[in-house]
Amino acid sequence: MKTILYIIQKEFKQIFRNKGMLPIIFVLPILQLVILSNAATFEVKNIKFGYIDNDHSSTSRALVEKFNASTYFNVLTVFPSEAIASAAMLKGEVDVLLEIPNYFERDLQNEKRNNLGITINAIDGAAAGIENVYVTQIVQGFNQNIKMDVLQVSDKQIQPIVIETIPLFWYNKTLNYKTFMVPGILVLLVTMITLFLSGMNIVREKEIGTLEQINVTPIKKSQFIIGKLFPFWVIGMGLLTVGLILARLIFNVPMLGSLALMYLYTSIYILVILGIGLFISNFTDTQQQAMFIAWFFTVIFILMSGLFTPIESMPKWAQTLTKFNPIRYFVEVMRMVMLKGSGFTDILPQLFKTALYAFIMNGLAVWSYKKTN
């Protein structure tokens, strides 16, 4: 036990002595959490909107005013022709183009129906889909407003049947995207910092030649590995603490569940990441190699974790692969505990899989580490 404590003490001194590592540990996570949580959003706002009004009637002007009153659309200008409007969209000056046909008001009154032309810049398919929903909602709302003025039978107005829906939003009442994103970004920071630091730490010993000196000492393999990785386990738990404080103070993210449960799961999850970092370092000779390999796997894990895109929207084969992704379970647990108030039994499946993952990865890492006496 004394040997392990001496190694841990040596590691902490080495970490705090490295001036280049301190900003990575303490400054960058805070900046990344604040910046990414504000920048990473699923909302589509300030949509550049243009229109062609071929009717020039009071009804067409009222429809355009509906778009102008929306907080999502930025109504830029009216185009005199379709050719000019298409050229503007080609240059990126317009995202959504509305074309109101000739005799729009007359046909609406006589035939009780009419068509509108909507052209959407769909280079970003996800944004185009959201923009289409916004346009549809505004047109439907406009349609409801003019029904009483347009639909008449004899001298008697039709009283339309109105079905009103009353939505009830659970877990995120204000529909604030930051409430959804901050727990995921926190997972990202804990993962990346602990993985990169643990992966580069042992490789650094190889580069400066001290690993060979340690290998010829009577220190056991288990003592060396525990002493090397424990400081980064502490750093990972510290990052979680800082992240939770910032999430509460800056973003006002609710924390309905147990903090002890979050720390319990994180303590096991960090063991997974440390095992991966040690496993990578055993097969690399330079910090650059370790960083490149760690970054390669981290990008794949993050993109397939459900952090930015729902796992349910992925192909079946991709959904199967995500079952072997430890970041997926951490993201799920953080959102479940923080936003839903889930208890121990609720996260038990994720906890069991993560513990199994930690056992396997650390077993492989210890097995692959070669110590020569």
**In a domain? residue 167:** no
- pLDDT band of residue 265 (cuts 50, 70, 90) is very high
Residues β-bridged to residue 75: 49
Residues 20 and 111 in one domain: no
Q: How confident is the model at residue 349 (pLDDT cuts 50, 70, 90)?
A: very high
Q: Tell me if 230 is assigned to some domain.
A: yes
Q: Which residue has the higher pLDDT, 149 or 304?
A: 304
pLDDT digits (tens, 9 = 90+) for 119-147: 888 877 777 888 888 888 888 887 776 65
**Do 153 and 179 lie in a common domain?**
no
- Pair 241, 308 in one domain: yes
Q: Residues 133, 242: one domain?
A: no
- Region 176-180 average pLDDT: 80
Domain boundary (157, 183, 215) is at: 157
Whether 359 is in a domain gets the answer: yes
Question: Among 101, 127, 157, where does a domain finish?
Answer: 157
Same domain, 82 and 185: no
Query: pLDDT at residue 272 above 90?
Result: yes
151 and 201 in a common domain? no
Residue 69 located in a structural domain: yes
> Is 213 found in the same domain as 309?
yes
Residue 116 lies in a domain: yes
Provide the number of structural domains found in the chain: 2
Same domain, 139 and 225: no
Q: Is residue 164 part of a domain?
A: no
Whether pLDDT at 81 is above 60: yes
Provide the CATH number for the domain around residue 53: 3.40.1710.10
Q: Once rounded to an integer, what is the mean pLDDT over residues 337-341?
A: 89
**Is the same domain home to 201 and 341?**
yes
User: Does the residue 163 lie in any domain?
Assistant: no
pLDDT tens digits for range 21-58:
677 777 777 787 888 777 766 677 888 888 888 888 88
Q: Are residues 364 and 222 in the same domain?
A: yes
Q: Which residue has the higher pLDDT, 324 or 212?
A: 324
Mean pLDDT for the stretch of residues 73-79: 83
Residue range(s) defining the domain that contains residue 147: 47-157
What pLDDT sits at residue 26? 72
* Residue 32 sits in the same domain as residue 53: no
Is pLDDT of 269 > 80? yes
Q: Is residue 152 located within the same domain as residue 185?
A: no
pLDDT at 197 (0 to 100)? 81
| 154 has pLDDT over 50 | no
Name the more confident of 76 and 323. 323
